[in-house]
Amino acid sequence: MKPSILVARAIFPEVLAQLREVFEVDYNETDGIFTPAELTRRLQGKVGALTTGSERIDAALLQANPQLKIVANMAVGFNNFDVHAMTAAGVQATNTPDVLTETTADFGFALLMATARRVTESEHYLRAGLWTKWRYDMFAGAEVHGSTIGIIGMGRIGQGIARRAAHGFGMNVIYHNRSRLSAELEAECKARYVSKDELLKTADHVMLVVPYSAESHHTIGAAELAQMKPTATLVNIARGGIVDDAALAKALAVGQIAAAGIDVFEGEPSVQPDLLKVPNVVLTPHIASSTIKTRKAMAQLAADNLIACLIQGKALTPVNTLPRQAL
């Protein structure tokens, strides 16, 4: 008999077909988001699950599903997992690193450009039929090339942004991270390590690429926004909760910073209502990794993790280490 798994959200049909060759698949075809109780129930009898950031895997769910062996997240971030509880329950957790690095870095840059150069704000103006004449300062934004970018979180995606900034746009790159990069990587990214305070005070553009944790919650709040230059832009492609969205909306409304580009939100898909009222923010619905090629690669890697773990006995990109006998 084939092992049973749950595919908790809609995925590419070709990836689903591969999973069906190997597993008995319970597929959430309608793509509705399960409540915690529904997810717990749908996992009954399943040894594996393919999830996205919308499925929370916690101790209560694990306790109700002691047969579960692996949960493969189709995302590089895994803050929807209680990894500690998963490890204690002997459940393998996997994510999808590497396959989305460059695509996500591209989008960070797209959002930076759109924010600094006021792309969506000016498009709304044009679409509203308000454009009647050219004007010398019309939608004058902030310079990107040659300016200083401050990157908070210098993992693989942060480094991808640093390379684009330094080599493509001649930007001065400063960064802050829990640990410093090696001298080789710093040289390759042309990036200089600084304190968070120095970064906030000196960057023309602040880019957030730090994983979400209790420690990184509200990395940018009212106090940090007050440290930034009034001409600065802020871009968040990291996770909702890294920025205090209510404080950001206030800072944007009073011109404490010039503009922001936000792809991830506290409590998404809900968006802090005050953010919707300010014109100087570019808002996108968590799409930084969303190209067809990359989303297919992410789905494929999540599926491959299920196959590698449940059929071959060893996950490809684990985020926790289990004692050998647990699998």
Catalytic residues: 239, 268, 286
In the set 25, 68, 70, 75, which binds ligand GLV (CB under 6 A)? Answer: 75
- Residue nearest ligand GLV, CB atom distance: 77
39 counts as binding ligand GLV under rule CB under 6 A: no
CB neighbour class for 240 (10 Å; exposed up to 12, middle 13-18, buried from 19)? buried
d(CA 214, CA 151): 20
**Helix and strand counts by DSSP (H, E) for the chain:** 14, 12
300 counts as binding ligand GLV under rule CB under 6 A: no
The answer to whether 172 and 147 are in contact (CB under 8 A) is yes
Binding positions for ligand GLV, 83-102, rule CB under 6 A: 100
Nearer to ligand GLV, 23 or 81 (CB): 81
Q: Using CB under 6 A, count the residues that bind ligand GLV.
A: 5
72 counts as binding ligand GLV under rule CB under 6 A: no
Binding positions for ligand GLV, 251-280, rule CB under 6 A: none
What Å distances lie between residue 191 and 54, 174, 204, 224, 256, CA to CA? 34, 5, 15, 21, 27
Q: What are phi and psi of 236, to 5 degrees?
A: -115, 105
The answer to whether 298 and 90 are in contact (CB under 8 A) is no
77 counts as binding ligand GLV under rule CB under 6 A: yes
Nearer to ligand GLV, 101 or 148 (CB): 101
Q: The tokens of 26 are what?
A: 């319970």
Q: What does the DSSP assignment read for 138-197?
A: TT-----TTSEEEEE--SHHHHHHHHIIIIIH--EEEEE-SSPPPHHHHHHHTEEE--HH
Q: How far is the CB of 77 from ligand GLV (least distance, A)?
A: 3
Q: How far is the CB of 129 from ligand GLV (least distance, A)?
A: 36
Q: How far is the CB of 2 from ligand GLV (least distance, A)?
A: 28
Nearer to ligand GLV, 293 or 324 (CB): 293
Q: How far is the CB of 54 from ligand GLV (least distance, A)?
A: 11
Q: How far is the CB of 40 from ligand GLV (least distance, A)?
A: 23
d(CA 70, CA 29): 21
In the set 216, 236, 272, 289, which binds ligand GLV (CB under 6 A)? Answer: 289
List 234's β-bridge partners, or say none. 206, 260
In the set 11, 76, 89, 228, which binds ligand GLV (CB under 6 A)? Answer: 76
322 counts as binding ligand GLV under rule CB under 6 A: no
What lies within 8 Å, CB to CB, of 272 at 6+ separation is 245, 246, 248, 249, 265, 266
Which residues are at the interface with ligand GLV (CB under 6 A)?
A: 75-77, 100, 289
